[in-house]
Structure 1
Amino acid sequence: MKYLIVGLGNIGAEYADTRHNIGFKVLDALAGASNTLFTTARYGDVAELKHKGRTLVLLKPSTYMNLSGKAVRYWLDAEKIPRENLLIISDDIALPFGTLRIRQRGSAGGHNGLKNIAELLGSEDFARMRFGVGGDFPRGHQVDYVLGEWTAEEREALPERLKVFGDAVLSFATIGVERTMNFFNKK
């Protein structure tokens, strides 16, 4: 069985350590823990991870956040992966830092990357995992906040949270979205 695991973020060194790139960070940590390397391919950096008889295609789109749907649609088709085996990892300012929320489907919630994916797939019916980045910013400064770098406290807590998110990704591919939701959404 194949799964497409997409971490949302923006390419370029200026975005590397920003809250908006947490999807990339989760995939980098998961790949690193498995000694898996990314290679540059069409519409993004891709790695293939084997876990308990499953193949996880990890994708960090190179299309920029707001155009992520193009990469997602391409890789779903190219790898012949059914939509129920798709998981999108994104940041969420409505959740406290480090909070993990998995849903089988849902709205974009104002997230332009998720909005573009839903638009290009013609449906909001795909699993998503949200990484809470908090919302401690003055009104009207959302963009500055998500494109801002982590605080020292957040940076210190990231390794442990990235491990939990990596475990949740592996769980999604192994036991499915519902059981993964029941286990990880309570943490």
Structure 2
Amino acid sequence: MVILGLGNPDRKYACTRHNAGKHVIDELLTRKTEEIQNWRSKYFRAWEIKINSHITVVAKPRTFMNESGKAALAINTKFCINPCELLVIYDDINLPLGKLRIRKKGSSGGHKGVQSIIDNLNTENFPRIRIGIGMPANGQNLVEYVLSDFTEEEKNTADEMVKNAADAVELILKEGIEKAMAKINGQNETSLP
């Protein structure tokens, strides 16, 4: 399985809500017990790592969010995987801040990065972890909202959410997506077992 955390490549977007998927990859990289090798291509950066006893590849796109499908297609080609072996992690305004949802497949839900992946892979059949960033306040522009940093009041919840999403990845690697869905999808805000 390859874990792809979505986000924008430019430094000015590093701490934004839209980069929540990349933050999870950063968290997984801090947890690695061994780095086996790494790759850099035009479309992605990837690391083969060992987390506990599981060896996996984690990746970040080098494309902007709306072109994430180019990175996903390049990853699928490089690692000879089927779309169902690509776990995509991304921000979701339709979930409250701190809430996680795991799905085996589905539509983009209006997320342009996910739609780009669907378009490039020609399928909705890839697993994903949706990370709740909440909805913008009344009257706030959606683009400005997702490209803004978390507020001081939100930072603790956002940090905990990233750790919980990394825990969810480890759970998927250890127990499979069905068990991870059963354990995580019914839980409140940021609590994991």
2:65 match: 65
User: Matched residues in 2 for 1:145 and 1:174: separation?
Assistant: 35
Give 3-state SS (helix, strand or coil) of 2:128's partner.
strand
Superposition pairs of residues 11-160 of structure 1, within 5 angstroms: 11-34=9-32, 41-42=40-41, 43-51=43-51, 54-139=54-139, 141-160=141-160
- The unaligned stretches of length 5 or more in structure 1 are none
Among all aligned residue pairs of Structure 1 and Structure 2, give the percentage whose two residues are the same amino acid.
Answer: 39
What's the RMSD between the two structures over aligned residues? 1.8
Indicate if the aligned counterparts of 2:97 and 2:157 stay in contact, CA closer than 8 A.
no
Indicate if the aligned counterparts of 1:85 and 1:173 stay in contact, CA closer than 8 A.
no
User: Matched residues in 2 for 1:46 and 1:36: separation?
Assistant: 14
Q: TM-score, normalised by structure 1?
A: 0.91
User: Matched residues in 2 for 1:35 and 1:175: separation?
Assistant: 19
How many matched pairs? 185
CA displacement 1:147-170 (0-9 Å, x = unmatched) = 011011221223322221111111
Indicate if the aligned counterparts of 1:52 and 1:174 stay in contact, CA closer than 8 A.
no
Q: 1:66 to 1:142 in 2, by over 3 A?
A: same
- The unaligned stretches of length 5 or more in structure 2 are 188-193
Indicate if the aligned counterparts of 2:4 and 2:88 stay in contact, CA closer than 8 A.
yes
Runs of 4+ in 1 over 3 A off after TM superposition: 35-40, 51-54
